[in-house]
Amino acid sequence: MKIIIDTDPGQDDAVAILLALASPELNVLGITAVAGNVPLDLTARNARIVCELAGRKDVPVFAGCERPLTRDLVTAEHVHGKTGLDGVELRDPKMPLADGHAVDFIVDTLCREPPGSVTLCPLGPLTNIATALRRAPDITSRIARIVLMGGAYFEVGNITPAAEFNIYVDPEAAKAVFAAGIPLTVVPLDCTHKALTTRARNDAIRGLGNRVGDVVAAWTGFFERFDKEKYGSEGAPLHDPLVIAWLLRPDLFTGREINVEIEADSDLTRGMTVADWWGVTDREPNALFLGDVDADGFFAMLTERLARL
Ligand code: RIB
Ligand code: CA
């Protein structure tokens, strides 16, 4: 399966990229960085650090949009640290950024590859994806599926009482993606909050005895402090790798084909994903909205795959 990962690393994005690069079922055509958890210069740096960590300098990394479509950028250093990959000292990458803008790479790749052969995997704000759809509407019919981490319904918000971070940062972009009529799988907080980095799971990753295991355990050790304090939970939700896990093992997940609309007008509920989980409207379903995951099955697969790097 050919995929493009659009990302704002972020420790959890980094683990998602490692999982994808460790999985022969997936052909990562490229990685496109977007501003989100930290500004673009850092997300573009961090994505290359992860490729080098995986021994995959062959994967092109492109820099994309440095701010949302219309709004000021909101970042999340309070969660991910100043670098976005706090938890372990990391050298600057040696591999250069690929030439060209991420949005042009997305458009050119979709125009070159056979229609319906490329899946987009956004792990951050949807600015690059929405910009690509605006720049080249013809790509809409050529995208096999968009599998994104974002939104929430039963879990409500994590950056505001109403909104999940990725959708909150660029609600206009999210509105465009959810309205595009492209096959869509949404991995919301409802799902990711059931995949917690417990001590046992962290220990299993640290116990791999390879550099990747040590770095991932250090990242999750740093990343989890915020959510553990906020939610009083035993670990932190490992959000973004669940996007890749769904591609590899959809049987680990359950969800519903429902209508999901994005609030972009109200300041109070900006970025809310209004998910019609109970089918109380006549709005057409536009997304497979995941509600549950076999967390043990996910972590077992993640750990086994990380051992391969
Ligand atoms: O709300 C969680 C999402 O926001 C994850 O993608 C995390 O990396 C941050 O981007
Ligand atoms: Ca992310």
- Report residue 193's pLDDT band, with 50, 70 and 90 as the boundaries: very high
To the nearest whole percent, how much of the chain has pLDDT over 90? 94
Q: How far apart are CA 115 and CA 87, in angstroms?
A: 41
154 backbone dihedrals φ, ψ, rounded to 5°: -65, -30
Q: What's the whole-number mean pLDDT along residues 180-189?
A: 98
Ligand 1 proximity of 158 Cβ (cutoff 6 Å): yes
- Report residue 227's pLDDT band, with 50, 70 and 90 as the boundaries: confident
The token duo for 296 is 């043990």
24 backbone dihedrals φ, ψ, rounded to 5°: -65, -15
Q: How far apart are the first and last CA of the chain?
A: 20
**Is the CB of residue 303 less than 8 Å from the CB of residue 195?**
no
- Per-residue pLDDT of 59-114, as tens digits, reads 999 999 999 999 999 999 988 999 999 999 999 999 999 999 999 999 999 999 99
Number of domains in the chain: 1
What pLDDT does 7 receive? Answer: 99
Q: What is the largest CA-CA distance in the chain?
A: 53
For ligand 2, the distance from its centroid to the CA atom of residue 280, given in whole angstroms, is 31
CATH of the domain at 106: 3.90.245.10
Ligand 1 proximity of 241 Cβ (cutoff 6 Å): no
What pLDDT does 134 receive? Answer: 98
Q: What's the whole-number mean pLDDT along residues 239-262?
A: 98
Residue 101: active-site member = no
What pLDDT does 229 receive? Answer: 84
The token duo for 127 is 């600015």
On the question of pLDDT at 226 being above 90, the answer is: no
On the question of pLDDT at 214 being above 90, the answer is: yes
216 backbone dihedrals φ, ψ, rounded to 5°: -65, -40
Q: What's the whole-number mean pLDDT along residues 204-232?
A: 91
> For ligand 1, what atom is nearest to the CA of residue 12?
8
Q: What's the whole-number mean pLDDT along residues 270-288?
A: 98
- Per-residue pLDDT of 162-174, as tens digits, reads 999 999 999 999 9
Ligand 1 proximity of 164 Cβ (cutoff 6 Å): yes
Range of the domain at 175: 2-306
Ligand 1 proximity of 219 Cβ (cutoff 6 Å): no
Cα atoms in the 13 Å half-sphere on the side-chain side of 255? 30
> For ligand 1, what atom is nearest to the CA of residue 158?
1
